[in-house]
Structure 1
Amino acid sequence: MARVLSLLAVLAVLLGALPLQAQNDLPPAPYAYKQLDDPAQEAAAQKLMETLRCLKCQSQSIADSDAPMAGDMRHQVRSRIAAGEDPEAIRSWLIDRYGDYVSYAPRVTATTWPLFALPLVLLALGLLIMLRRFGGPK
């Protein structure tokens, strides 16, 4: 009975992995590796892609990454720029879809302002401690 259960478990794992493998076998999106015909549009797309983080890679932009997800994101950027959409609107759409992590230039929002303020508070606290400790003549 235990052997049958272990075989069923292995079968379930293998069958569960088939959809994942099928996703990897899909061809890349049309603009994942193909540049736009208009040099000005391609330059705008490259500039934007260099400021967006690949969600699968460690510290690579979608312009530099070979991950399939980065290719899909490059396709989205290029096709939207080719359609005449503003790069900042595309950035906002990607941030809304994937979160602030996708951008190398994070926005200051109600939830992120402490991350920007904390270094200043720590610096002021350090200066205050230094002035009290070494400040006056003895």
Structure 2
Amino acid sequence: MSQHKVVLLLGSNLGEQKKNIELALEKIKEAGNNISQISEYLMSEPVEFASSNIFCNIATIIFTPLSPIQLLDCIKNIEVEMGRVNDSKASGGYTDRIIDIDIIKYNELNFTSERLVIPHKKHLFERDFSRILLEKFI
């Protein structure tokens, strides 16, 4: 089974943010993915919504046997397991969240479906905190 190189961004702005991210990383690993690199933590203001809760973010490179949609299902399940109730795509807007996991790149794949677009252009080109975290990985 081949392994695919994937860049993920994780963020949390509720509860103990660093512990939330560490737990999410553990769950990603438990799901059969190999975590190769993890960036430093970066604190940032919420983007595209107002909140007094600051985000803690990291970028990570994983190697996975999963297809893009299988990986999306995996990380959405982790978000739900950890208590995330609002998915921004489903609700049509951003809110505070205990964990957010985004697929940024998957190999060099260009992929578009109703549920997923790879590469994640907002994180690659529009969001300052993302560019800072991703500059060593992309």
Q: TM-score, normalised by structure 1?
A: 0.21
User: Hey, which of these two has a bigger chunk of helix by percent?
Assistant: 1
Q: TM-score, normalised by structure 2?
A: 0.21
Structure with bigger gyration radius: 1
Higher relative contact order (CA 8 A, sep 6+): 2
User: Hey, which of these two has a bigger chunk of strand by percent?
Assistant: 2
